[in-house]
A = this chain, B = another copy of it.
Amino acid sequence: MPSMSAHVVLGIDPGYDRVGWCIARGGGKIFEIIESGQIQTSKTQSVMDRYRQIQREIAQVIEKHHPEACAIESIYFSVSAKTAIRVAEAKGVILGVLAQHSEIEICEYSPPEIKLAVTGNGSATKKEIEKMLHILTNPIKLPKLDDELDAIAIAYTHVMRLR
């Protein structure tokens, strides 16, 4: 039987300060990180300049890797309502870029769904997720950046759903 073809998935951890992203190939028993990174905007930029930077860098990732799906974290009120609103706005900017690529399927996952997919426990800690990602992506050297790791976890969650 031919193996299930692997899909190229873009995982995104949205934010206005930092946006984590990950391009992974997955399906069947495959989960492979192709490239990942973090878009870092500056407090000294205007909000609109930050949005322009996010638009530009997300568009570059899409253009380079042509993902078939995008897995993006849904917004939770884990911090303050004000922060959640600003993250939702930045997420809207990202979804606006994705809307220009109707070939990309958009899937949202909540933090508990992501934690559950990666560790088997919907209320896992950041440390537990990181540890599990090290096992799942072995022998890849994982990045040290928080939002980049989150984006990898989100991409992994989507790939798990494909299985």
Residues of A whose CB lies within 8 Å of any CB of B are 47-48, 51-52, 55, 75, 77, 81, 84-86, 88-100, 102, 106
- Given A75-B85, A81-B77, also A96-B97 (CB < 8 A): yes
One complex includes copies of this chain to the number of 2
A-B CB proximity, top 3 nearest: A92-B92, A96-B96, A88-B88
A92 CB contact (under 8 Å) in B52, B95, B100, B102 = B95
Give 21 A-B contacts (CB < 8 Å), ordered by A residue: A48-B99, A48-B102, A51-B96, A51-B99, A52-B99, A52-B102, A55-B96, A55-B99, A55-B100, A75-B85, A84-B88, A85-B85, A86-B88, A88-B88, A88-B89, A89-B89, A89-B91, A89-B92, A92-B94, A92-B95, A93-B99
- Could you tell me the distance between the alpha carbons of A102 and B53 in the complex, rounded to whole angstroms? 12
Provide the bound-state CA to CA distance between A70 and B56, in Å.
22
Please name all residues of chain B whose beta carbon is closer than 8 Å to the beta carbon of A96 when the two chains form the complex: 51, 55, 92-93, 96-97
| Nearest-Cβ distance from residue A109 to partner chain B, whole angstroms | 15
CB-based contact B92/A88 at 8 Å: yes
* Chain B nearest Cβ from A112, distance in angstroms: 16
